[in-house]
Structure 1
Amino acid sequence: MKFFQKMERKFGRYAIHNLMYYIIMLYVVGFVILKFAPELYYYYLMLDAPSILHGQVWRLVTFMIFPPTTSFIWILLLLLMYYSLGSSLERVWGAFRFNVYVFMGILGHIIAELAVYFVTGHSPHLTTTFLNASVFLAYAVTFPNEYFYLYFVIAIRAKWLAIFEGAGFLLLFVTSHSLGTRLEILLSLANFIIFFVMTRDYRRISPREIKRKQEFRAQIRPKSRTRHVCAVCGRTDEDSPGMEFRYCSKCEGSYEYCMDHLYTHKHIKKSDQEQQ
Structure 2
Amino acid sequence: MSQFERRFGKYAIRNLPLVMIICYAVGYAIRYINPDFLMFLNLDPYKIVHGQVWRVITWLLVPPTDNNLFWIILMLFCYYSIGVSLERTWGTFMFNVYIFSGILLTLVGAFVILGIAYLIGGGLYAAVYSQYVAAVFSTYYINMSILLAFAMTFPDAMFLFMLFIPVKAKWMAIVYLVILLIQFITGGLFVRVALGMALLNFAIFYFTNRKGLGIKPVQMQSRTRTPKPVKRDLTRSSGIVTRHKCAICGRTEQDVPDMQFRFCTKCEGNYEYCEDHLYTHSHVRMS
Does TM, scored on the shorter chain, surpass 0.5?
A: yes
* CA apart distance, 1:170: 2.7
- Identity, % of aligned positions: 37
Cα RMSD of the aligned pairs, angstroms, is 2.6
- Which stretch shifts more, 129-138 or 196-205? 196-205
Q: Does 1:58 align with 2:54?
A: yes
Who is 1:159 aligned against? Answer: 170
* CA apart distance, 1:194: 0.7
1:148·1:156 contact (CA, 8 Å) conserved in 2?
yes
Q: Does 1:130 align with 2:141?
A: yes
> Counterpart amino acid of 1:45?
L
1:41-52 pair list within 5 angstroms = 41-42=38-39, 44-52=40-48
Who is 1:103 aligned against? Answer: 100
Query: Residue 6 of structure 1: which of 3, 6, 12 is its match?
Result: 3
TM-score normalised by structure 2 residue count = 0.68
Give the unaligned 5+ runs of structure 2: 118-125, 237-287
Residues 63-93 of structure 1 show CA distances to partners (whole Å, capped at 9, x for unaligned) of 1112233321211111111111111100011
1:146·1:157 contact (CA, 8 Å) conserved in 2?
yes
Q: Distance in 2 between matches of 1:211 and 1:110?
A: 33
**Number of matched pairs:** 216
SS at 2:70 equivalent: coil
Q: Mark the structure with the bigger radius of gyration.
A: 1
Residues 208-245 of structure 1 show CA distances to partners (whole Å, capped at 9, x for unaligned) of 44379967978x958xxxxxxxxxxxxxxxxxxxxxxx
Who is 2:111 aligned against? Answer: 114
1:204·1:210 contact (CA, 8 Å) conserved in 2?
no
Q: Does 1:186 align with 2:196?
A: yes
Residues 87-127 of structure 1 show CA distances to partners (whole Å, capped at 9, x for unaligned) of 11000111000011110111111111111232244122111
Q: Distance in 2 between matches of 1:167 and 1:12?
A: 36
1:148·1:155 contact (CA, 8 Å) conserved in 2?
yes
Against the structure 1 CA distance between its residues 213 and 207, is the aligned structure 2 distance closer, same or farther, given a 3 Å change threshold? farther
* CA apart distance, 1:168: 2.2
SS at 2:167 equivalent: strand
Query: Residue 223 of structure 2: which of 206, 210, 214 is its match?
Result: 210
SS at 1:30 equivalent: helix
TM-score normalised by structure 1 residue count = 0.70
Give the unaligned 5+ runs of structure 1: 223-276
Who is 2:281 aligned against? Answer: none
Against the structure 1 CA distance between its residues 177 and 153, is the aligned structure 2 distance closer, same or farther, given a 3 Å change threshold? closer
Against the structure 1 CA distance between its residues 145 and 216, is the aligned structure 2 distance closer, same or farther, given a 3 Å change threshold? farther
SS at 1:74 equivalent: helix
Against the structure 1 CA distance between its residues 56 and 16, is the aligned structure 2 distance closer, same or farther, given a 3 Å change threshold? same
Residues 173-208 of structure 1 show CA distances to partners (whole Å, capped at 9, x for unaligned) of 3x3474433222212333212111454357456444
Against the structure 1 CA distance between its residues 211 and 103, is the aligned structure 2 distance closer, same or farther, given a 3 Å change threshold? closer
